[in-house]
Amino acid sequence: MVSARPAVAAMPAYRPGRNPADLAREIGVPRAVKLASNEVAFPPLPAVVEAIATTAGETNRYPDNGATVLTATLAERYGVAPAQVATGCGAVTVLQQLTQAYCDPGTGIAFAWRSFEMYPLLAQVAGARAQQVPLVPGAPGGAADTHDLEALAAVVDESTRLVFVCNPNNPTGTAVRRAELERFLDAVPETALVVLDEAYREFVTDEDVPDGVELMRGRPNVAVLRTFSKAWGLAGLRVGYLLAEDPAVADAVRRTHVPFSVSSLAQAAAVAALASEDEVRRRCAAVVTERARLTAALRERGLPVADSQANFVWLPLGERTAEVAAALESRAVITRPFAGEGLRVTVGTPEEDDVFLGALDAVLTSGGAAAADT
């Protein structure tokens, strides 16, 4: 019998957010609300729909393997050379390409934990050591939710090839600020590549949370990862990209690229989305406004919600997390539980968030009130 590698056989399966239509059928209600996957609630941009329609007639041909137009557009937007840009089928695929490009078995990948759940899985597949550093409370007496950059720098050794810094952090929504991030980047040896994972950058409102592209400049061992899946509304088309100060880093990522993995539709949609930036900014502003309302409403209910710089909020419910998430699902609201730690809730429309708050109230007043004891 042919067997998978032990490291692969031992991997937990990635669990996407539940399909709301499936849940609605299961519990017998007309509609379920999905606040699990950090999608934006807005429909695709009109320019994106037009670009997809125009490009659909060309899908009998392979896409541009180098994503030339998209790469040039990104290069111009960020003031870098096209050689400093690499695209991929979503940011997570670019992370996989980085791991393939830089990690041999026995090398290290350093990152905070809890953070983006794919980081340890990528290390496992590569046979690399996962150098995990626990989060620390961002406020005195609070739950662990913030990067400890000093501790992260301390674990980087001669075997460390990649360092992932998710800023804002997924799933806690917290962000590290300019001074501490600059000190960290200066402390990491040049033999390790620091990847600033900024999937939620467009939702940042704290002026002291730096744009990673600014910090990248002049630092050849720093790269910035971004995606079109969140603020730009292209989650269903899968487009991510890397900006690297050193063109050799982007070249290495392109060398591990699966040919033609960014479809023609995705490329055209991403270019159209970039041309609609004003509308995207308006949408992000609406998300930020709703984020503030949702955060205030949760705090009014006695829940210790940290300031989020992303399009989701984090409820540190500890051991009650799975129970609360299941109770919410029974009331047709899908959230993202991290068992034993907390619940991540996407900022939805005001109507969706009101449904969530109503369901949460029902949970907390029906024997689940202990969930707030954190």
pLDDT tens sequence across 191-248: 999 999 999 999 999 999 999 999 999 999 999 999 999 999 999 999 999 999 999 9
Q: What is the 3-state secondary structure (H, E, C) of 226-290?
A: EECCCCCCCCCCCCEEEEECCHHHHHHHHHCCCCCCCCHHHHHHHHHHHCCHHHHHHHHHHHHHH
Residues 297-319: tens digit of each pLDDT? 999 999 999 999 999 999 999 99
Tokens at 103, concatenated: 């990690």
User: Looking at the predicted structure, is the pLDDT value of residue 373 above 50?
Assistant: no
| Separation between Cα atoms, residue 151 and residue 147, nearest integer Å | 9
Give the SS3 label for residue 200: coil
Enter the tokens of residue 280.
């995207």
Distances (CA, A) of 191 to 102, 205, 220: 11, 33, 10
What is the arithmetic mean of pLDDT over 179-198?
98
| Contact of 134 with 113, CB cutoff 8 Å | yes
The pLDDT value given to residue 362: 97
Asked whether the predicted pLDDT for residue 374 surpasses 50, the reply is no
Q: Quick one: pLDDT at residue 186? A: 97
Q: Contact 330/27 with Cβ under 8 angstroms?
A: yes
Average pLDDT, the chain: 95
Q: Is the pLDDT of residue 365 over 70?
A: yes
pTM: 0.95
pLDDT digit string (tens) for 195-210?
999 999 999 999 999 9
How many Cβ atoms sit within 10 Å of the Cβ of residue 201? 24
Yes or no: say if 357 and 297 are a contact pair by the CB < 8 Å rule: yes
**Burial state string for 134-161 with b = 16 or more CB within 10 A and e = fewer than 16:** ebbebeeeebbbbbbbeebbeebeebbb
Q: How far apart are CA 256 and CA 86, in angstroms?
A: 11
Mean per-residue pLDDT for 114-143? Answer: 96
Q: Which residue has the higher pLDDT, 16 or 93?
A: 93
User: Is the pLDDT score of 115 beyond 90?
Assistant: yes
Q: What pLDDT, on the 0 to 100 scale, is given for residue 371?
A: 42
Confidence of residue 370 (pLDDT cuts 50, 70, 90): very low
Task: Quote the pLDDT of residue 17.
Answer: 76
All structural domains of the chain: 6-44+278-372 (3.90.1150.10), 46-274 (3.40.640.10)
Cross-strand bridge partners of residue 136: 146
3-state secondary structure string across 90-146:
CHHHHHHHHHHHHCCCCCEEEEEECCCCHHHHHHHHHCCEEEEEECEECCCCCCEEE
367 pLDDT band, cuts 50/70/90, is: low
Apex 122 CA angle, 177 and 149, nearest 5? 20
- pLDDT-above-90 percentage for the chain: 92
